[in-house]
Homo-oligomer: A and B are copies of this chain.
Amino acid sequence: MTTGQNHCDPLESLEKAGLQKTIQRIVVLRAVIRADRPITAAEIYEDLDVAERVNKVTVYRVLASLEEAGIVRGIPTVDGMNYYEMACSHNPLHAHFYCRYCRAMTCLGPLGEEICQNLYPSCRHEADALSVSITGLCNDCRRNKTKRKEEPL
């Protein structure tokens, strides 16, 4: 589940959301699209080359406005970091895998209709987000288990 995000056009998304089309928003949005997997604000900031430098604070603010506009989606992890992905690229109801060692987050694909049907009714509140996350060791980290010096979180 790591393909097909490139049909999301930054300018078009901002237009539709009624947000001003600033360079900073376009740069951040492009970084999220380019990543093609959920990434953190810090990763976005570090991945920007000198030409498209954007202040770290701005990255946070842009992500917040993009999330509020429904353009990106935030995903929290066990260690309190927030990851962002394009909202347009998936069904809002899908599961993620988070490696507690290398801290990479991958998408496991959309949840089946039956699963969602089963989860929501049990909730007698006004729900607006459903997040399923599986934590553990990814294949790479598991393979390198014996070579590692430090311990996972």
Bound form: Cα–Cα A58–B114 in Å: 43
Residue of B nearest to A109 (CB): B122
Bound form: Cα–Cα A8–B83 in Å: 35
A139 touches B124 (CB 8 A): yes
When all copies of this chain in the complex are counted, the total is 2
Please, which residues of chain B bring their CB within 8 A of the CB of A132?
119, 130-132
Bound form: Cα–Cα A136–B130 in Å: 9
Of A31-39, A49-57, A70-78, which stretch is located at the interface? A70-78
Bound form: Cα–Cα A99–B108 in Å: 26
- Is A27 positioned at the interface, with any CB of B under 8 Å from its CB? no
B125 touches A99 (CB 8 A): yes
Bound form: Cα–Cα A136–B131 in Å: 11
- Is A126 positioned at the interface, with any CB of B under 8 Å from its CB? yes
Residue of B nearest to A139 (CB): B125
A binding-site residues for B, Cβ under 8 Å: 74, 76-82, 95, 97, 99-100, 108-109, 111-112, 114-115, 118-120, 122-139, 142
| A76-B78, A115-B119 known, 6 other contacts, Cβ within 8 Å | A80-B80, A99-B125, A119-B132, A126-B137, A127-B136, A131-B133
